[in-house]
Amino acid sequence: MPRLTFPTRATPPRGASATGGAGRASTLWILRIVVLALAVRVFTAGIAFYANVVVPPFQREQFTISGTTDKFWDTFARWDSGWYYGIASKGYRFVEGGRSNLAFFPAFPIAMRYAGLALGGGMEDYYRGGIVVSWLAFLGAMVGLALLARLDLDEAGAERAVLHCMVFPFAFFFGLVYSESTFLCGLVWAIYGMRTQRWWLAALAGALVVCARVNGIVSVPAIAWIGWVAAGRDRTQRINAGLAVLAMVAAFVLWCAYVYWLSGSFLEWKASIERWGYYPGGHPWTPVGRFVHAMLTRPGEHLMSGGLAPYDAFNAVMALLFVAATPFVWWRLGAGYALLVAINLALPLSSGQFEGLGRYCSVLFPVFVWMGTWTSPRPQQYALAASGGLYILALSLFTTIHPLW
């Protein structure tokens, strides 16, 4: 059987470095990951279409991908998808004192733009281009995650990690006109590049990460830590790791420079985010404590209080599970992975809101790699069954325009 060789490095596994059960990944195994990823995307599209046909919409559509309602194609584009379409088709626009599309980082909408132009340049072409980009990035992310998990696990364990990522309740975002799959693809390949000392790969993928979402730049310290450990005591390799990190920072600086050219402020992207009511910088434990207290003292009243309460509860439970998993990630996979999870949870939680937290958790792959270390079949089966059921529920809510974004 032909094999793809991925050499490992003799560095400690607890620092999230290139060790463990890895060494090689067969071509057939990689192909199986690709087929499984495509099957999940096709299955998801079918469930979303069925839900859109049989379940009445919670509210009116904000937009459609072609100007008229399409029960199949419209399921790929809700909420923020409209902002990505605007950037892809017309570029960035600065709105002084108002909501600006500068809140959305450029990697995904730029790729969406060129995919849309290749498909014809019409309104629906841009949206379908976004779907193509998301699906391709998802395939790349799953292959990258499989290879990355393979550095710590055997093939069966790495495959379990990938499967847990695919069926996480909010993983349906990976196939939509959203930036999640682009971000995850860059993140896993950046860390794979660091851990295997492929510094050029780490630099390029890391540049994609910092230009995909605001979470990218806060992930850089964790990526740098992982690269430092992977470099070991070799001074040249440490310099190479540092240069890869500098490339990531440079990409972010270029984005800020463009924002300055357009708006007159390097941090206008941050101000634009705040105009949606997100103000990071508070104590991340405050909303967690408030939610836990409400659910322990008056759960029914809290969930039925109207507004976003039931959707916030869904997001909050996902975040709490990932918070609880973080020490185990540290214990089994090292400080670098635990730091990556912690800072990506702390940032949104510091805004005092739960909106989007399930989606943010979907890209925190170290938790799925940790779940891949479970060897007992019973916990695996229970976890996959629960995730699969919640996946269909969350997908159906999103498709029928519930505020689960």
Two structure tokens written together for 286: 């405050």
Please give the angle made by the CA atoms of 331, 336 and 342, to the nearest 5 degrees: 85
Q: What is the pLDDT of residues 155-191, one digit of tens each?
A: 999 999 999 999 999 999 999 999 999 999 999 999 9
What is the C-alpha separation between 395 and 397, in angstroms, rounded? 5
pLDDT of residue 1: 37
Helix, strand, coil percentages, rounded to 5, for the chain: 70, 0, 30
Sort 243 into a burial class: Cβ within 10 Å, 0-12 / 13-18 / 19+. Answer: middle
Beta-carbon-side half-sphere exposure of residue 225 (alpha carbons within 13 Å): 15
Amino acid, res. 270? K
What gap in Å lies between CA 169 and CA 165, rounded to an integer? 9
- Which residue is it, tokens 């029960």? 71
Q: Within the chain, which residues score under 50 in pLDDT?
A: 1-23
Q: Output the pLDDT for position 111.
A: 98
Q: How many CB atoms are located within 10 Å of the residue 355 CB?
A: 19
HSE-CB of 29 using CA atoms within 13 angstroms: 21
Residue 72 DSSP label: T
Q: Measured between alpha carbons, how far is 215 from 170 in angstroms, rounded to an integer?
A: 17
Q: What is the predicted pLDDT for the residue at 125?
A: 97
CA proximity to 167, closest of 385, 404, 372, 403: 385
Backbone conformation region of residue 266, classed left if phi is above 0, alpha if psi is from -120 to 50, else beta:
alpha
Three-state DSSP at 26 gives strand
CB-based burial label for 359 (10 Å; 0-12, 13-18, 19+): buried
Its sign, for the CA torsion 50, 56, 58, 61, is positive
CB neighbour list of residue 156: distance below 8 Å, 6 or more residues apart:
none
377: CB partners within 8 A, 6+ apart: none
Name the token pair of 26: 């067969």
Cα-Cα-Cα-Cα torsion 106, 108, 114, 120, nearest 10 degrees, comes to -120
DSSP letters, 188-217, are HHHHHHHHTT-HHHHHHHHHHHHTT-THHH
Determine the pLDDT at residue 24: 60
Please name the amino acid found at residue 115.
A
Phi/psi for 276 (5° steps) reads -90, 5
Q: Which helix (H) or strand (E) holds 25?
A: strand 24-26
Report which of 337, 324, 126, 113 is spatially closest to residue 225, judged by C-alpha positions. Answer: 337
Give 308: exposed, middle or buried? Use CB within 10 Å, 0-12, 13-18, 19+.
middle
